[in-house]
Amino acid sequence: MKKERGNKKRTPGRSRWLYLLPLGFALLSVLSCRNPLTGPENTDGTRQLHISVQPGGDFEAPSAGAANYRTAVPDASTYPAIGWYEAAVTDSATGTKTYGSASGSSTSLSVTVTAPLSSALRVTVRGYTDSTKALKIAEGSVPAAPDGTTLVTIYPAADGTGTGKIDLEVRFPNTIGVTAVAADLYKGTSLNNADVFSGLAKSSITSVQDDPDYSCVKFTASGVPSGGYLLKLVFTRTGTKTMTVIQAVNIRNGATTSKWIPRNGGGTLLDYLLLEEDDFFSTNTGLGGDGKIYWEGDTIRFTLAEYGQSFTATLDGTDITSQFSYVADADNTWEASGLDMVPGSTYTFTLTVTAPDGVTKSVPPHTKNYFSAVWYVDENGSDVGNGSASAPLASVQAAVDAIIGAYDKANPNWVASGGAADRTTAG
């Protein structure tokens, strides 16, 4: 009996040993390897990142696509020489965390980077005239190459940190009978009087020395903040006829804008903009592209057929011409967005186009019920407001009622099926 009891005691003992054996092995594995499949995370990702810098194509000649037709650009020979480069390596996601930097006069830089090996990195290089970094000439940014050298192409800077100069010439035939030329330089892409650069000088109309059949006028300026501009030229001809031409002008840090991209959008840059008789005598008052006006929500967009055309626009009789901006990436296209309209109300848009020879024609009016996706509510608003950003409602219920009312107006076939907030389409 005792032996039987002894045997019974030994059996559980062997079981405990058998259970403890794999547990001990697992514990040994944890203590010795932490993660036998993937290994430990390497947080000490210190390594050297090699960078090579090269100037972009804009330093030789800007891209000459159709959208850049008649665009004024800097003369590549006027860019100041780059004598100092500064490179920074940051996180690729936000660019706010810097892992390393280096600077020098060479286009080959080496940056000591301390970051987890799994981090996605980005390299940004800026070029300056000298080590004082008083004037930035160019910059570029690319993802860091996983292996080898990261090649960074830098392009002329236009971030407003510096200024450039203007030295432009425009020629036109004597047969046109131009008696005066007015010019305004607008910052950005909007013909807004508040954004006019005041330092643009204009010469008198003179005969072209090497071509007596043409006259010219020159425009100069210095200290122009770098960036994009619109040059509006208004030519007055014999009598009272005028012709308006709007040109894109690019200003870059330290450079002189004196060249024009030709009409065909390619080839060698020109020393002057040449206007011909057709630019002045055209009677075209139509629209370009597909000839349509696009009106989506609070945004209206259209394309003019010719650069010599001008336009006026009204919304329910109110002049909104100044709210239209030139769309830089589209050929002679204009757009106004954020128009102040009351949700659920009907508006009429009228566009009048003036041809280069002064002929004026109104495009058939466009009438549309404006249905906004947003009604604004503010504790300081009023339930008699219209729900726009400038006249918000005071309560959510007022917004719900306004939305239902707008749907009713836009969809007269809707009927109530369960209450004021429950509408279904009839039929």
Supply the pLDDT for residue 20.
34
Residue identified by tokens 């009622």 is: 401
| Contact between 272 and 257 (Cβ < 8 Å) | no
Q: What is the pLDDT of residue 34?
A: 37
How far is residue 81's CA from residue 137's CA, in Å, rounded to a whole number? 8
Contact assessment for residue 275 and residue 215, using Cβ atoms and an 8 Å cutoff: no
Q: Decide: pTM greater than 0.75.
A: no
163-280 placed in CATH 2.60.40: yes
Domains 46-61+80-156 and 163-280 share a fold: yes
**Biggest CA pair distance of the chain:** 135
Per-residue pLDDT of the chain (427 residues; tens, 9 = 90+): 444 444 444 444 444 333 333 434 333 333 333 333 333 334 457 888 999 999 876 665 444 333 345 689 898 889 889 999 999 999 887 878 899 999 999 999 999 998 887 778 999 999 999 999 988 998 999 999 887 899 999 988 877 678 999 999 999 999 888 999 999 999 887 776 678 899 999 999 999 998 999 999 999 999 999 988 989 899 988 777 778 888 889 899 899 999 998 766 666 788 999 998 888 888 888 898 888 899 988 899 999 988 778 899 999 999 999 899 887 556 678 999 888 887 668 899 999 998 887 788 888 888 887 766 577 888 888 888 777 777 888 888 888 887 777 666 555 544 444 443 333 333 3
The pLDDT of residue 357: 78
Determine whether 213 is exposed, middle or buried from the number of CB atoms within 10 Å of its CB (0-12, 13-18, 19+). exposed
Class of domain 294-370: mainly beta
Burial of 60 (0-12, 13-18, 19+ CB in 10 A): exposed
Q: Considering only CA atoms, which of 202, 307, 301, 190 is closest in space to residue 246?
A: 307
Tokens of 162: 């510096």
Distance CA 289, CA 295 (A): 15
46-61+80-156, CATH topology level: Immunoglobulin-like (2.60.40)
Domain segments of the chain: what residues?
Answer: 46-61+80-156, 163-280, 294-370
What is residue 64's predicted lDDT score, i.e. its pLDDT? 37
pLDDT at 364: 86
Neighbours of 303 (CB within 10 A): 19
